A and B are shown apart, each in its own frame.
Chain A
Amino acid sequence: DGGITQSPKYLFRKEGQNVTLSCEQNLNHDAMYWYRQDPGQGLRLIYYSQIVNDFQKGDIAEGYSVSREKKESFPLTVTSAQKNPTAFYLCASSGVGGSEQFFGPGTRLTVL
């Protein structure tokens, strides 16, 4: 089945730790995105990538980093510089030409 997977589903981070959230897609999509969702709020774009080895900052990139070494994978690292990382993180992908975005199941990150 084609789709987007994210892992882990739940993640707990101690203060000062870096953590990496995984996002994999087998839809052969070129573009991938990371969003953050806070409780009761909409989605805010963290980073996006249109092609392998290239990515761009979104609206709230500070404290986050990404890589795009493979078309299928777009991991997000939440660094210790992100002061308030507790949120629900959603990964999405879309095909060529700006088509519809499809979303993964999400990772819920909690800072202890």
Chain B
Amino acid sequence: ELKVEQNPLFLSMQEGKNYTIYCNYSTTSDRLYWYRQDPGKSLESLFVLLSNGAVKQEGRLMASLDTKARLSTLHITAAVHDLSATYFCAARPHNNAGNMLTFGGGTRLMVKP
């Protein structure tokens, strides 16, 4: 059974600082997703990572995937208040025809001025 763990669960940071959110998964996965959720809202897709060593960047966010370590990271560069949200990673088990995803518990990010 695939398990996904994120840390930290809560992150308070100052504007302009850098930080990394970690996502570990327990068994082989062939697809890793990052989503953003604003309070009371739905999930917005940020990144899809498909292979070992994949790196994707959008603005101040950069996601990477290390399938050997079963680890994905979401790096925040020079944080701004607008990035305050909860971030989820989700992994798909290898060869999962149903495309079922297992979600991590989320990292609630607060960026303070």
Contacts and interface: CB of A to CB of B under 8 A. Distances in A.
Interface of A: 31, 33, 40-45, 48, 50, 56, 58, 90, 94, 98-106, 108
8 contacts: A31-B98, A31-B99, A50-B99, A98-B92, A100-B33, A100-B45, A103-B35, A108-B40
Interface in B61-113: 88, 90, 92, 96-101, 103-106, 108
Contact of A42 (B31, B99, B106): B106
A101 B91 CA distance: 12
A92 B41 CA distance: 14
A101 B98 contact: no
Interface residues of B, number: 24
A100 B47 CA distance: 10
Interface of B: 31, 33, 35, 40-45, 48, 88, 90, 92, 96-101, 103-106, 108
B44 to A, nearest CB: 8
A104 B71 CA distance: 28
Contact of B43 (A40, A50, A103): A103
Given A42-B88, A98-B92, A90 B98 contact: no
Contact of B96 (A41, A90, A98): A98
B103 A43 contact: yes
Nearest to A31: B99
B42 A105 contact: yes
A99 B33 CA distance: 11
A105 B88 contact: no
A90 B101 CA distance: 13
Nearest to B97: A98
A99 B103 CA distance: 16
